[in-house]
């Protein structure tokens, strides 16, 4: 059985509606793909490359990107023959506790529906999250800038008082947003972070910038 990243596991458990609302789009509106270039790692020891052939095998929306990562993180990636929620996810673990989790997931959303579906999804997620975790707090929801793009963001906080089988305990911030290719408004990736209070990540503005998961994210690049 595939190990589902913690944030996705929570949202799957508590809500049937998440940020991955599927929209049927005309095939003519997808971006034309150029020949795939040769890519080598430049920051970390490892590189993960997604192309249209892999997406078809994983039964995930077609996208192209590369991301690099070091040896000292736990990695889980999409696999053939199972239901995949993400292309890849990373965990930063200290003393058997997950300090950070960062996942790059699929989305069929179009930018034209970004705000509308973002608002509806966030409200349902927060309502369900508070039922599962009474101490859950909404820290932010709405359109905001992330890495040069303005898309819908959800930032929440929960406290886990007893260690879970997935090695989570403590106060965690959760952050979700979309990130689109430069050449098309379709098929973005869904970015999800979970950060423990012992992480360098202390607020919404720290996601994607600080700590090891931020350094990993900085190597992300769509291949267009």
Range from 26-35, 116-125, 191-200 carrying the lowest mean pLDDT = 26-35
Q: What percent of the chain has pLDDT over 70?
A: 85
Which residue segments constitute the domains of the chain, with CATH numbers given?
6-20+43-222 (3.40.1000)
What is the distance between the alpha carbons of residues 73 and 181, in angstroms, rounded to a whole number? 26
* DSSP-assigned states of every residue in 137-189: EEEEEEEEEETTEEEEEEEEEEEE-S--TTS--EEEEEEEEEE--SS-SB--E
Q: How confident is the model at residue 34 (pLDDT cuts 50, 70, 90)?
A: confident
Arithmetic mean of pLDDT, 132-141: 94
> Strand, helix or coil at 18?
coil
Tokens of 142: 């709405």
Q: How confident is the model at residue 5 (pLDDT cuts 50, 70, 90)?
A: low
Residue 12, pLDDT > 50, answer no
pTM of the entire predicted model: 0.86
Arithmetic mean of pLDDT, 134-140: 95
The residue count for the chain: 224
Q: Please report the pLDDT score of residue 125 as a whole number.
A: 86
């Amino acid at each position: 059985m595939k190990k589902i990243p913690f944030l996705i596991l929570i949202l799957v458990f508590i809500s049937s509606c998440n940020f991955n609302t599927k929209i049927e789009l005309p095939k003519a509106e997808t971006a034309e793909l150029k020949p795939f270039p040769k890519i080598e790692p430049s920051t970390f020891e490892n590189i993960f490359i997604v192309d249209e052939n892999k997406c078809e095998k994983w039964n995930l929306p077609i996208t192209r990107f590369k991301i690099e990562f070091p040896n000292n993180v736990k990695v889980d990636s999409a696999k053939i023959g199972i239901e995949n929620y993400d292309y890849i996810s990373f965990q930063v673990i200290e003393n058997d506790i997950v300090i950070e989790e960062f996942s790059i997931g699929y989305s069929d959303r179009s930018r034209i529906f970004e705000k509308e579906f973002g608002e509806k999804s966030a409200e349902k997620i927060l309502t369900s999250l508070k039922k599962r975790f009474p101490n859950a707090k909404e820290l932010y929801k709405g359109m905001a800038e992330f890495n040069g793009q303005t898309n819908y963001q959800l930032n929440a906080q929960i406290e886990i008082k007893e260690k879970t089988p997935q090695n989570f305990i403590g106060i965690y911030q959760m952050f979700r947003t979309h990130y689109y290719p430069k050449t098309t408004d379709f098929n973005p990736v869904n970015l999800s972070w979970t950060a423990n209070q012992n992480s360098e990540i202390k607020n919404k503005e720290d996601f994607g910038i600080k700590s090891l998961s931020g350094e990993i994210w900085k190597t992300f690049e769509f291949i267009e």
